[in-house]
Amino acid sequence: MPRFALEVAYDGTAFHGSQIQGDTPTVQLALNQALSTLLRQPIETYGASRTDEGVHALGNFYHLDLELSLSTKSLYQLNALLPNSLGVKNIYRTADNFNVRFDAISRQYRYRIYRSKNPFLFQKALHFPYHLDLDTLQATAKALLAYQDFESFCKRNAQTHTHLCTIYESYWQQSETELHYVVKANRFLRGMVRGLVGTQLRAGRGKYGLDEFHAIVAAKDCRLADFSPKGWGLYLEKIEFPEGALLPL
């Protein structure tokens, strides 16, 4: 059966996460309902990356199987049925055995922080009005590249068989009036990026030094990490797949 992939963007504050949870408003439920209405048959989608409540996405992916063919016109029709907080950016044809979750090569997240109160950034970035030492933040971000086991940054009761991840990029970036943390890896654990951000922010405020940060990572104990940063500062920025996996309609 032909398989298609949808590239979607959404405002996470409008949903209780991305993954379907019965009748609770989620990204996946909204997609399934709109597709079912458009195609006049029950449709199920399968997501590439699960995002928590409040977390935004500039480029998450879902795949679905259809006996019918989708077209560029389908993109317009589908977006007309979706809420304003959710949009489909592109529709791709894929191989019949393609899986948006397991065939992804990497995922990249960005966490946005601003210091001066700005009502236009409320629930789009984290208001953090404290002094931060940027050199310390860059040092902690770089330190993460030396590790593969990130159990300290995985929330309890996560349904995962391994805490091993390969981080390809990890750095802090000044962007006009904002400070961003960017991290790219082959996979992420439940709450991992928010844990990385919160723990680094504590180091950036001088709560502990680089050696203590290394000790937290190595301890494999999530009680030592800080998961307090709000979800609304976090963006799933992009997901990469093997070349040629996504074919334009």
Alpha helices in the chain (DSSP H): 27-39, 72-81, 134-143, 192-204, 210-219
CA distance 66 to 44: 10
Do 155 and 222 contact (CB within 8 A), yes or no?
yes
Match 């654990």 to its residue by tokens.
189
81: tokens are 């049925």
Q: Which of 52, 103, 133, 226 is catalytic?
A: 52
149 is catalytic: no
| Gyration radius from the chain CA atoms | 19
**Half-sphere exposure at residue 209, Cβ-oriented, CA atoms within 13 angstroms:** 1
Active-site positions read 52
